Chains A and B, each alone.
Chain A
Amino acid sequence: GENVEQHPSTLSVQEGDSAVIKCTYSDSASNYFPWYKQELGKRPQLIIDIRSNVGEKKDQRIAVTLNKTAKHFSLHITETQPEDSAVYFCAASPLNSGGSNYKLTFGKGTLLTVNP
């Protein structure tokens, strides 16, 4: 089955700096890669996702890059703010041809702390 490794497990940055979280996956059939943010005691929320037909996607201060050859993808957060502090999870999933089989495998998470 799929195995997703996520690094680092903790990351501390100063407000305004950039943060990068990296994930690798094992199953070459995976072609959907979402990132979730989970604040303490709350539910995971999707912040950005990327599919294997693109290499990079941006949404304001957040970007995700994908290298399918190397089987790794990364989350980049620029101009970090204290409210970015949370646990971030990467995930990978294959989609079957019918698109109805959707099985996310998550990384172990990265605790990001943004210091004011």
Chain B
Amino acid sequence: DSGVTQTPKHLITATGQRVTLRCSPRSGDLSVYWYQQSLDQGLQFLIQYYNGEERAKGNILERFSAQQFPDLHSELNLSSLELGDSALYFCASSLGGGGDEQFFGPGTRLTVL
């Protein structure tokens, strides 16, 4: 157990819908990262937050947004869902943001029907 929690574990929804994925980092970690893992695209970095502020952006679609709250938990919002958004979404956390080990959560499996 990495200490990073993610909810829900599984999510099944329809195209066009909106969902919110939640992540709680390890106690004391200030950075949260979101990744998307799919069979065709592999593991892709989406976005990083550090102590409430966005710090790095990867291949995140405009339909997706994220935020980190004062208690350091983070939410990833996915809207206007498409079939291709079906994937495993991981959250990771690290103590700081500069090359500290990232600890991954168990992931949320999103299925868009």
Contact = CB atoms under 8 A, between A and B. Distances in A.
Interface residues of B, number: 26
Interface stretch (B16-24, B38-46, B78-86): B38-46
Interface in A30-50: 32, 34, 42-46, 49
Contacts of B94: 102
Interface in B90-107: 90, 94, 96-107
A104 B58 CA distance: 9
A69 interface: no
A100 B50 CA distance: 8
Size class of the contact patch on chain A: 20 to 34
Given A46-B102, A106-B42, A109-B42, A100 B107 contact: no
B48 A103 contact: yes
Interface in A82-100: 89, 93, 95, 98-100
A102 B45 CA distance: 10
Which of B43, B48, B94, B104 has the most CB atoms of chain A within a 10 A radius of its CB? B43
B104 A44 contact: yes
Interface in B56-113: 56, 58, 90, 94, 96-107
Interface of B: 2, 31, 33, 42-45, 48, 50, 55-56, 58, 90, 94, 96-107
8 contacts: A34-B102, A46-B103, A100-B50, A101-B56, A103-B45, A104-B102, A106-B44, A109-B43
